[in-house]
Structures are given as structure tokens and as C-alpha cells.
Amino acid sequence: MALIAADPSGSNEVDTMAPRERDVLKTLGNILLTLGVGVWGAYVVLRYGMGWEVTARECLPYHLAGVVPGTLLRRHRFFRGVLGRLFS
């Protein structure tokens, strides 16, 4: 007798990625998000702690360079499903 586990998300699509690969992508996404948000900590230390003339405009590209790809990597299955539905 075989046990069949139901997918809690209700999705019937087959996941073609190995579990280890998913973990690596999610971990990389978490690292990028942490670094992207951490830019603002460095900004506060440099501007208010050390008195340097640093503007938010100088830190924003580094923030976005971490947060945007980090979010895409963490939610890659969601975005892949949305794009699949749009172009199918």
C-alpha cells in the first residue's frame, strides 16, 4: 500500500528542481537580501556615527542590487508559475 501525500499549496505541477538546488537558491536569496538591507546599517554608521557626507542616493543602487535579485531567488517558484501562466 503506497501513501500519497497531498501538496498543501494545492498545486498539481511537478517540481523539476532537486531539493538541494532549491535550498541553495533560497539561501543565496536570503544572503543577498541581508546584504541589501545591511547597506542601510552601513549608511547610518558612516553618516551619523562617523560624520561622513554620505547620501541615500549613493547607497540606493547597492541596496537594490541585493534586494531585487534576492527577492527573485527566494520566490523563484512563485515567479516561474506566474510567468508560466502568462505565456502558456
Reduce the DSSP state of residue 47 to 3 states and report it.
helix
| pLDDT value for 58 | 96
Q: Where are the alpha helices (DSSP H) in 1-88?
A: 19-44, 56-74, 76-86
Instruction: Summarize pLDDT for 5-46 with one digit per residue, the tens.
Output: 555 555 555 566 666 666 788 899 999 999 999 999 999 999
Instruction: Summarize pLDDT for 60-69 with one digit per residue, the tens.
Output: 999 999 999 9
Which residue, 35, 56, 32, is CA-closest to 46?
56
| pLDDT value for 28 | 94
Task: Annotate 60-81 with three-state secondary structure.
Answer: HHHHHHHHHHHHHHHCHHHHHH
